[in-house]
Structure 1
């Protein structure tokens, strides 16, 4: 096991640098219900996370990000919050959270938690009070209630559609002759809050303080670009998706006045010191719009979804990297790199499709099945490439094992509301959320002591389990450990990218970062590695053959300087 410090100082930074630790941090997303189940009920929990913190420390990460664990009816896997100040019994107790936080901090790991401010659960006390109150009441003004159109208000207030499919409006059943409608950009059980109401602003300031007082290190902000809607809620004659080709797209996304909220939150976090972080989940384009979220008085990071969505394409990837570095540098912010998360098909599966730039909303048994070997080979190459880039990297649990989506999951077992709201037109996100495999020879591959699992795992997870990969130098797990350790030791996250302008072949990318040279082969034909190169790490055991880099591989190498230069 790699020895970890007992305090905040790490081999990567000195005490003076801790205030901006996020600039080059590697942050690991934990989807609690799928990471590790300690009590045998088939759902992962906080104690399960604690049991595996040593595994995470050995991975050479800097922080963990926990997806929601709050009290929730679980209509959308916890992104429908009924109580923002407590832990759902599915996941444990507040004492369990405190124990997790302390145990992570002892290992030098920071803890970021999800904040869900765009909407609550329909079982939140505020919404229950609103439904029981009359139109125009204080309680209803915390949400976006409106009278309907047409005779007796029988039609929705506007034509907006939900991201999950269907109308973005639901009529309340309050016994009145002409009941009002409420807005939900997602599921009907997730009513949107009215962020023009000062009471909502004050409530979330207090929620931030509640968790900061417990010692959390930051917040990932769900739907950060959606809190402020156009005051008039006008019709919109295009699909109300989160990102449809441009920034400030439509009356429900990326409005300029949303930034007032984050300036306020920045002040709250600053009152606890200068080492806390806000991370925006903002599906915003172009890059200049996204950079507005990470100005010096707002958030510290924003997910670089543009990079995640370009796929296995050398020119598109380079263009995305350049856009991100340039626009973030203009506001003094770091850049994040992410390839997978709980909302998208895992990159080991996307990159195995006939079109590796495709962006499917889930993959089901009736759809094209990825080439698993090719997808994994490309995923390893892409991850190694990303780890050499300056900035911060986000990992999604299981990508260090090379996990694919469960693409043969039976439809009758699906739980994602987007599958049901679209009548199955969108397969949904369940395939990326199946439980983690710890032991190849155990029921549920070691996820749960009882062998129960809230979603079944594919058979392929057995060969990809941690015990199969631990200590195997050819495994994806050991590749991640090695690369992340070298990234830290070499200071690549705080380095500078310089493209090799001699590279004109669209099937490759090459750059230097400090003394590290990086070469990635997107094509099917091996390409030469420069003379004098000393390989530091390669994405596959067979990556280098007779001085050439094999297809779909990445290599880091150094070059001995020529004497006298």
Structure 2
């Protein structure tokens, strides 16, 4: 078993460049106390699964107290643990057990907004002259309008969850801003007291032994002031106003200050990644440049939104040429300045094997194919729970099956546009976030080994076949392939440091690229289709050794459906 990556003293090659991160969504990972809801004790019980896989870093989605309006991303106390997950003492035990196994632990930092039940907001909403009133964004109704009525909102912004971005508060007669749920009021980062309170909270967790943060929607903390309307869209009373809050004018100033005051004192042991929807390659270079003092890497969204039409639920046909172009632009753009994060799955995305692959006959092969294409690029890979066994989307039938606020709000939005419930459910089955949050499938027993009770979300019906226990004893499983990919990353420096070069950019079925360094060369050939494909010369290296292959037997001149192969040659001279 490979030992996880340890710290390196060489600042020019930080340890996290060779690391692999595993994301746990605690509510759905493992339920140890039998209440149907995952918990920290369940995570402790399965830490050895991560070690067996070769993981270096455990990222926990929010574990803080929460009313659970947005799946835990609405936080009512930054310095405690949600009782359904456990206690601070159990978290400390998790931290000790993870560190004993060589695993670092990263927490989710949700600093753009809190829950409306957080004491900060309760105080802010208590009076117009409350001590923390300007810790959030408040504004009176639009002149000439009565508060609480349509059209009275201070600006015409639409929230990311498809409802007006302002919520009227009768107690003070004003509105507060929420870019997400109305129960997630946005913090006012213009106020230095807010920033200092957040930095103090971060230091509190780091002093406890946490090894870094994944920072939720971090590039939305700086709004363009004063808040204002955006140009209207014909027939739409509320409009997405991302130009007013994505990569705002002070965002780099704020992130640099956060790094300087809350992160830098803890040195090179930390890892930080920012969720940055709407970021460009050029902005990412600023966020992640080694001399900038901001973040280690960011999550770009461009590659997981290229198949979005009118909104996140309007899925366009898969276009490999477009996906290759997007990811290659990021590989090239961050080759010398900054660093990439690599992911297809997380708690907000449908399962990639269902979204772009074949979750039927070729589930195993297509899961391996996408994993190979991703893990052999340059950057830090992220594995989302269940991805390593090829978990699929859930066949949600009716709206009452759903729990996610984004999907439920979309159903209301779609109905207002005249969509049928059948069409709405079809869209949610493909793209809804609940697909990622169904319980982890550990074995073929009741509730797939997740819980002894009825789970908070239903277990996928295919759990009898798709589960960790079955994968562990199958040498050809998706799990075995992930182990090999992670082992290769740890053993071959060319995967961390080598140049990425795309071949055959316009080929509609093949993703072919090289990874090269003065000492080593790899050729990665992935057939992302269900058809056999003739391999052009660029996809063949006669005489090269085969490092990895998902189809047994001789490496021929054609690629089988969903086949992935990795060839290696060592340069002469």
Tell me which interval the TM-score lies in, with the shorter structure as reference length: 0.7 to 0.9
Whole-angstrom distance in 2 between the partners of 1:86 and 1:225: 25
CA-to-aligned-CA distance 1:245-298 (integer Å, 9 cap, x gap): xxx942122113111111012112111122212211001243212332213311
Cα 1:266–1:285 shift into 2, 3 Å: closer
Q: How big is each residue's C-alpha offset from its partner over 1:444-489, in whole Å with a ceiling of 9 and x where there is no partner?
A: 01001x2421101121122111111103111101111112112211
Q: CA deviation at 1:306?
A: 2.1
1:85 corresponds to which residue?
79
1:29 Cα deviation from its structure 2 partner: 0.6
Of 155, 158, 182, which residue of structure 1 is paired with 2:155?
A: 158
Match in the other structure for 1:444: 447
Q: Per the alignment, in what secondary structure is the counterpart of residue 86 of structure 1? A: coil
Distance 2:160 2:251 in 1: 20
| Displacement of 1:492 | 4.0
Normalised TM-score (structure 2): 0.86
- The runs of 5 or more residues in structure 2 that have no matched partner are 308-317, 415-423
| Separation in 2, partners of 1:18, 1:405 | 40
Tell which deviates more after alignment, 298-307 or 191-200.
Answer: 298-307
Cα gap change, 1:17 to 1:52, in 2 (>3 Å): farther
Point out the more displaced range, 386-395 or 375-384. Answer: 375-384
Hey, what's the Cα distance between the residues in 2 that align with 1:222 and 1:34? 19
Asked if 2 retains the 8 angstrom alpha-carbon contact of 1:284 and 1:290, the reply is no
Q: How does 1:253-402 map to 2 (within 5 A)?
A: 253-267=246-260, 268-295=262-289, 296-310=292-306, 313-330=319-336, 332-352=337-357, 372-374=360-362, 376-402=364-390
Counterpart in the other structure of 1:180: 174
Structure 1: gaps of 5 or more residues: 353-369
Q: Given the alignment, which residue of 137, 144, 158 partners 1:144? A: 137
Q: Give the drift of 1:391.
A: 1.6
Report how many residues are paired. 527
- Aligned equivalents of 2:85, 2:13: Cα separation in 1: 31
1:520 to 526, 530, 535: 526
Shift, 1:547, TM fit = 4.7
Evaluate the alpha carbon distance shift between residue 504 and residue 192 of structure 1 in structure 2; reply closer, same or farther with a 3 A threshold. closer
Residue 399 of structure 1 and its aligned partner are, at CA, apart by 0.4
Structure 1 residue 407: Cα displacement: 2.9
Query: Which of 506, 509, 529 is the aligned partner of 1:507?
Result: 509
Q: How does 1:107-126 map to 2 (within 5 A)?
A: 107-126=101-120
Q: Give 2:311's aligned residue.
A: none
State how far apart, in whole Å, the 1-side matches of 2:8 and 2:179 are: 44
Residue 560 of structure 1 and its aligned partner are, at CA, apart by 7.4
Q: Is 1:236 the equivalent of 2:243?
A: no
Contact 2:255 2:294 in 1 (8 A): yes
TM-score, normalized by length of structure 1?
0.87
Show the counterpart of 2:201. Answer: 207
Match of 2:420 in 1: none
Q: 2:87 and 2:244 mapped to 1: Cα distance? A: 39
1:24 and 1:393 in contact (8 A); partners too: no
Task: Verify the 8 A CA contact 2:8 2:15 in the aligned structure 1.
Answer: no
Pairing 1:548–2:558 present: yes
The worse-fitting range, judged by mean Cα deviation, of 404-413 and 28-37 is 404-413
- Secondary structure of 1:551's aligned partner: coil
For 2:232 and 2:391, how far apart are their aligned partners in 1?
35
1:434 matched to which residue of 2?
438
Task: Give the Cα–Cα distance (whole angstroms) in 2 for the partners of residues 234 and 288 of structure 1.
Answer: 26
The structure 1 residue matched to 2:126, chosen from 128, 132, 145, is: 132
Cα pair distance change 1:460/1:196, threshold 3 Å: same
RMSD: 2.5
- Cα gap change, 1:433/1:502 in structure 2, threshold over 3 Å: closer, same or farther? closer
Q: Cα 1:409–1:214, aligned 2, differ >3 Å: closer, same or farther?
A: farther
**Residue number among 414, 433, 438 corresponding to 2:402 in the alignment:** 414
